[in-house]
A and B are shown apart, each in its own frame.
Chain A
Amino acid sequence: MCIKPGEIVGMTGPVGAGKSTLLRLLVGLLEPDSGIVQIDGYPSRAKKVKEMVGVLFQHSSRQLFEKTVYDDIAFGPSNFGFDRRDIERQVNKAVNIVGLDKSLLEVSPFGISGGEQKLVSLAGIIAQSPRYMVLDEPLAGLDTKGKTRLPHIIQTLQNMGVGIIVISHHLDKLLEVAPRIIYLRDGIICFDGQRQQYLLDDSLPLPPITALMKRLHARGLPVNPATFTVESAIKQLEKLEIGDVDDA
Chain B
Amino acid sequence: MIEIKDLSFGFKENQRALDSISVSIDSGEFVAIVGGNGSGKSTFVRHMNGLLLPDEGMVKVWNMDTRTISNLTAIRRKIGMVFQNPLTQFVGATVEEDVAFGLENLACPSSLIRNKTDYSLAELGISHLAGKSPLQLSGGQMQLAALAGVLVMEPECVIFDEVTSMLDPFSKQQVLATIARLHEKGKTIIMVTHNLEEVHLAGRVIAFEKGRIVYDGKSSLFFDSPAVSNPGISIPPLTELALWLRENGLKEIDVSNPDVNTLEESIWQLKSRI
**A212, B168: Cβ atoms under 8 Å?**
no
Chain B: CB-nearest residue to A14 = B170
Q: Which residues of B contact A113 (CB under 8 A)?
A: 37-38
Which of B111-119, B154-162, B238-246 is near enough to bind chain A? B238-246
**A212, B263: Cβ atoms under 8 Å?**
yes
Q: How many residues of A contact B (CB 8 A)?
A: 34
Q: Which residues of B contact A (CB under 8 A)?
A: 36-38, 138-139, 168-171, 231-234, 237-238, 240-241, 244-245, 248-249, 259-260, 263-264, 267-268, 270-271, 273-274
A243 at the interface (CB under 8 A from B): yes
Cα distance, A211 to B169, chains bound together (Å): 17
A130 at the interface (CB under 8 A from B): no
Chain B: CB-nearest residue to A215 = B264
Cα distance, A245 to B274, chains bound together (Å): 6
**A212, B274: Cβ atoms under 8 Å?**
no
Cα distance, A114 to B232, chains bound together (Å): 13
- Given A15-B171, A144-B232, does the pair A114, B37 have CB atoms closer than 8 Å? yes
- Given A113-B37, A242-B270, does the pair A230, B249 have CB atoms closer than 8 Å? no
Cα distance, A211 to B262, chains bound together (Å): 12
Q: Which residues of A contact B (CB under 8 A)?
A: 14-16, 113-115, 143-145, 147, 169, 172, 207-209, 211-212, 215-216, 219, 221, 229-230, 233-234, 237, 240-246, 248
Shortest beta-carbon distance from B184 to chain A in Å: 25
Main secondary structure of the interface of A (DSSP, over half): helix
**A169, B274: Cβ atoms under 8 Å?**
no
**B37, A115: Cβ atoms under 8 Å?**
yes
Cα distance, A143 to B139, chains bound together (Å): 22
Q: Which residues of B contact A242 (CB under 8 A)?
A: 248-249, 267, 270-271, 274
Q: Which residues of A contact B240 (CB under 8 A)?
A: 230
Chain B: CB-nearest residue to A170 = B169
- Given A14-B170, A234-B244, A245-B274, does the pair A143, B232 have CB atoms closer than 8 Å? yes
**B270, A245: Cβ atoms under 8 Å?**
yes
User: Counting chain B CB atoms within 10 Å of each CB, which of A219, A230, A242, A243 scores highest?
Assistant: A242
**B273, A212: Cβ atoms under 8 Å?**
no
Q: Which residues of A contact B273 (CB under 8 A)?
A: 245, 248
Chain A: CB-nearest residue to B169 = A169
**A245, B249: Cβ atoms under 8 Å?**
yes
Jot down 25 A-B pairs with beta carbons below 8 A, ordered by A.
Answer: A15-B171, A143-B37, A144-B233, A144-B234, A207-B237, A208-B237, A208-B259, A208-B260, A209-B237, A209-B241, A211-B260, A212-B260, A212-B264, A212-B267, A215-B260, A219-B264, A230-B244, A233-B241, A242-B271, A243-B248, A245-B249, A245-B270, A245-B273, A245-B274, A248-B274
Chain B: CB-nearest residue to A205 = B169
Chain B: CB-nearest residue to A219 = B268
Apart from the given pairs A209-B238, A219-B264, A245-B270, 6 other A-B contacts in the complex at a CB distance below 8 Å: A15-B138, A113-B38, A144-B234, A209-B237, A237-B244, A237-B245
**B267, A216: Cβ atoms under 8 Å?**
yes
Cα distance, A230 to B231, chains bound together (Å): 19
**B36, A143: Cβ atoms under 8 Å?**
yes
Shortest beta-carbon distance from A120 to chain B in Å: 16
Q: Which residues of A contact B249 (CB under 8 A)?
A: 242-246
Cα distance, A215 to B268, chains bound together (Å): 10
Cα distance, A101 to B263, chains bound together (Å): 41
**A212, B238: Cβ atoms under 8 Å?**
yes
Q: Which residues of A contact B245 (CB under 8 A)?
A: 237
**A15, B170: Cβ atoms under 8 Å?**
yes
Q: Which residues of A contact B139 (CB under 8 A)?
A: 15
**B237, A230: Cβ atoms under 8 Å?**
yes
Q: Which residues of A contact B267 (CB under 8 A)?
A: 212, 216, 221, 237, 242
Cα distance, A71 to B108, chains bound together (Å): 53
Q: Which residues of B contact A144 (CB under 8 A)?
A: 36, 231-234
